[in-house]
């Protein structure tokens, strides 16, 4: 039953990622939190493991996405190189430091606020007005650090920050989306290293855990989401995506409300 539930979650998150161009973390974290809670894991630990496991799955989906985007020559590798060092620094600060010491219930409240904000941006379909050029190396280091830190705290790939930032800097939207997919790999890899190391001494971890990673969920979700993402991409060209984004945003409000409830009730 658990494998079936995880497979459905992976298929749904992969389809939505391909359809709407969003990372699966916004969907996976609340559901993995619920599944772990049903198996007796404390709310504090369940939230942390859900965030870590969601982030780990991005390693696999990012590889799949980047291969396709690179073939279309859409990835701005100069921006990837400029942002990646800051992303690694910010991710390690978050996953080895803040994530390890902050209570999971506080992370649940932060996740709820982040998802609520993201849902509002999606619902209104807001796009920043291009006003400037890409900053220099120091600016990219600072932006990358912020992206890595925030992504690690919510278990998302950073697309809700990196894409608006790049379009604001006059990067074409298709290049911004493709570059964001490439940035998902260093974000996920650096954070996962931190989750594994910082979770080694945590008591009461469920079976088949590696630090804060829940390996059964990671394996099933990664395989199913990678298989389903191309279907979502193909479907996106046939359906009114703007309307679908608003429907999905409404669902995100419900997930944010659930994580708010978990944070306040624990």
Per run of 10 residues, the mean pLDDT along the chain (length 266 residues) is: 89 76 73 89 89 87 75 86 93 84 84 83 70 83 90 76 82 80 87 90 88 92 84 71 73 82 78
Length of the chain: 266
Residue 193 burial by CB count (10 A; 0-12/13-18/19+): exposed, middle or buried?
middle
Maximum Cα interatomic distance, the chain, rounded to a whole number of Å: 52
pLDDT of residue 96: 83
Q: How far is CA 95 from CA 58, 152, 249, in A?
A: 15, 6, 27
Q: 3-state SS of 2-39? A: HHHHHHHHHHHHHHHHHHHCCCCHHHHHHHHHHHHHHC
Residue 219 confidence (pLDDT): 92
Q: 248 is written with which tokens? A: 């999905």
pLDDT recorded at residue 211: 92
Encode pLDDT of 211-249 as tens digits.
999 999 999 998 998 888 778 767 766 767 677 777 777
Indicate whether this model's pTM tops 0.85.
Answer: no
- What pLDDT sits at residue 97? 80
For 135, the 3-state DSSP assignment is: coil
């Amino acid at each position: 039953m658990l494998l079936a539930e995880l497979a459905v979650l992976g298929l749904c998150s992969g389809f939505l990622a391909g359809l709407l161009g969003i990372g699966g973390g916004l969907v996976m974290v609340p559901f993995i939190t619920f599944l772990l809670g049903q198996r007796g894991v404390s709310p504090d630990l369940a939230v942390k493991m859900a965030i870590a496991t969601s982030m780990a799955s991005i390693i696999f989906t990012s590889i799949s996405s980047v291969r396709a985007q690179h073939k279309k020559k859409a990835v701005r590798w100069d921006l990837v190189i400029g942002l990646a060092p800051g992303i690694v620094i910010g991710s390690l600060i978050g996953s080895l430091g803040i994530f390890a010491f902050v209570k999971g219930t506080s992370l649940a409240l932060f996740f709820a606020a982040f998802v609520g904000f993201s849902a509002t941006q999606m619902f209104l379909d807001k796009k920043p007005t291009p006003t400037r050029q890409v900053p220099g190396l120091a600016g990219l280091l600072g932006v990358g650090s912020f992206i890595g830190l925030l992504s690690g705290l919510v278990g998302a790939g950073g697309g809700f920050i990196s894409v608006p930032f790049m379009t604001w800097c006059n990067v074409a939207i298709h290049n911004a989306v493709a570059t964001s997919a490439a940035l998902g790999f260093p974000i996920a890899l650096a954070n996962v290293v931190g989750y594994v190391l910082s979770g080694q001494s945590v008591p009461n971890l469920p079976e088949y855990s590696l630090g804060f990673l829940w390996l059964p969920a990671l394996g099933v979700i990664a395989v199913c989401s990678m298989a389903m993402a191309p279907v979502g991409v193909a479907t996106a060209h046939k359906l009114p995506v703007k309307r679908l984004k608003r429907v999905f945003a409404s669902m995100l409000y419900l997930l944010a409300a659930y994580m708010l409830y978990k944070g306040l009730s624990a």
